[in-house]
């Protein structure tokens, strides 16, 4: 009976926090768009470029983390094929994070170019 109550409490807590998480992500994206649209001076564009460079670095680190996890799932002997689904999962995330890093780097280059033109 106590276990059932604990499970219900956890589920309720997760459900209550979901809208806040989604709302925070949406607000963050709106702020990024607004800042980008307001950029007029070279230093504004350079600040945005630096921000995107940081996001690219975070994505590269996440890709590397999943690369390490993928290698940890190689297994040995009779366990070698046991973790194929986990390796596939990591490989998909590696590609996604590498793609995101590339896109962030492109955004940074565009803002650096805008900064150079605004000078």
74's tokens: 């190689």
Interval 79-118: pLDDT, tens = 667 788 899 999 999 999 999 999 999 999 999 998 888 7
Q: Give me the pLDDT at residue 7, please.
A: 41
Q: Domain segments of the chain: what residues?
A: 2-118
Gap between the Cα atoms of 76 and 79, Å rounded: 5
DSSP state, residue 39 = -
**Structural contact between residues 88 and 37, judged by C-beta atoms closer than 8 angstroms:** no
Q: Give me the pLDDT at residue 71, please.
A: 87
Interval 67-88: pLDDT, tens = 999 988 887 666 667 788 899 9
pTM over the 0.75 mark: no
Does 1 or 53 have the greater pLDDT score?
53
DSSP state, residue 82 = T
Interval 23-36: pLDDT, tens = 444 566 666 776 66
């Amino acid at each position: 009976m106590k276990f059932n109550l604990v499970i219900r409490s956890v589920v309720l807590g997760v459900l209550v926090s979901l809208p806040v998480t989604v709302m925070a992500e949406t607000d963050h994206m709106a702020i990024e768009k607004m800042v980008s649209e307001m950029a007029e001076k070279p230093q504004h564009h350079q600040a945005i470029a630096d921000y995107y460079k940081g996001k690219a670095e975070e994505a590269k680190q996440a890709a590397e983390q999943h690369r390490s996890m993928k290698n940890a799932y190689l297994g040995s002997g009779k366990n070698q094929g046991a973790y194929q689904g986990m390796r596939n999962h990591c490989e998909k995330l590696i590609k996604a994070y590498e793609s995101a890093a590339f896109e962030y780097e492109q955004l940074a280059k565009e803002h650096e170019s805008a900064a150079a033109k605004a000078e």
